[in-house]
Structure 1
Amino acid sequence: MESPRNLVLLGTLIGIIPIVLGIVALVTPKWIEFSGSRREHSAILTMYYYHKFAIIGFIIGLFAIILGIIALTTSNWISINHNQLSDPIIYDLFQQCDRNETNKCTDFESFRIPQYFEIIGYIILVIGVFVGVLCTEFVNKRNIHIISPIILIIGIIMIFLGFIFYIKYVIEINSTLTITKLDLGYSMILMISTCIIGCILTAYFSFTAGYTHRHILATVNIY
């Protein structure tokens, strides 16, 4: 099934545009300019540190975005060996491919559920990254900052549910065979890494939310 992968690639190419714009925006210093009183100077310093927090979050999130793109668009999720074939059977998120002289690939309708969980979960995770970066940069209310970790957690849970359904269906497809070896492919490992980075981001944006709230309550400069 090539069309879903092509759609993922198309979405990736479109998604590169806001990523590039975001990088340029975050690494350039000219956002808002204040002049005059000490209080205004304090506001500049505060925004400077929020700016640094946002850049750190974006850099970490960029790793998750890139790894997720590679995982979804490559074709080595699980490799299975069984006693009836010398060559392994390779599964990606969309189909099964026999690594023999035929190189035959077969689509499975049962893969639709893990596909939905993986792709939608990844999209939600990416949204959580951008919400976290924007909230860290522009918003100083803790209640708003909490939104990003919640979004990230939802995305991570959906991706892990996709893993569970995916492995379950792969085992069911091969239930009549004696599986001698099951290996996780690099694509699934990359997707697992995406989830791990998502967990790190959840903790990071939770920290920035608490730090921002503490700064507001103390009414002092975080410098």
Structure 2
Amino acid sequence: MNEVFPLRTVSQPFINYSYIIFDPRSRASLLVDPSWELGTIVNKLNELQADLKGILLTHSHYDHVNLVAQLTAIYHCDVFISVKEIEDYGFKCNNLKGVNDYEVLSFEGITVTCLHTPGHSSGSMCFLLSESIFTGDTVFIEGCGSCSSQGGSAEDMFKSIQRLKSIIAPHVRVYPGHSFGSKVGEPFNNLFNQNIYFQIDSMKQFIDFRMRPNQSNLFKFC
């Protein structure tokens, strides 16, 4: 079974989570949304004696991609992001590979299914493994990403969350791009109790609530 190593990385005011996915038999690894602390990531890869096969990007916002250039220069690995994100935002980097909804990537013991989940950005993507899902800014343990930036859509976010609710097994652990008080890696089933956006089944109610005026903070979810 693949192992997941969460890395909390900081550049105030940003606090992100990057993740190393590691296969202990082959030592193959993938890196999800590398941000802020190059030394933290490189040191962990070295500690694991990991063979970095690729970088998975959930979307192209700067706080999720800012170490891509440095890491590709070091490891010469491929970088995977949705075709839609490339087309709509013009994202570029070395060794870039566009991927589509339901495309499957395989790397020496690691198999990843790409799921297009727009809402936070038009090309946002979640990456699903047998025991884990990496959700970027689509789904947090406590809520969902903002829908007001370029390409964002509360309607699309509602559809994406409904889709995830219908296809993700209850035991799959959720690894988002940020934490707002909850521990990353909660089982998907727990979000039905902890995440208010999982409890809204009406699209209109969802949109009205996510886009409600006078929110003191887009990341205070109730």
TM-score (norm 2): 0.27
Compare the two structures and name the one with the higher helix fraction.
Answer: 1
TM-score (norm 1): 0.26
Higher RCO, 1 or 2 (CA under 8 Å, sep at least 6)? 1
Q: Which of the two has higher C-alpha Rg?
A: 1
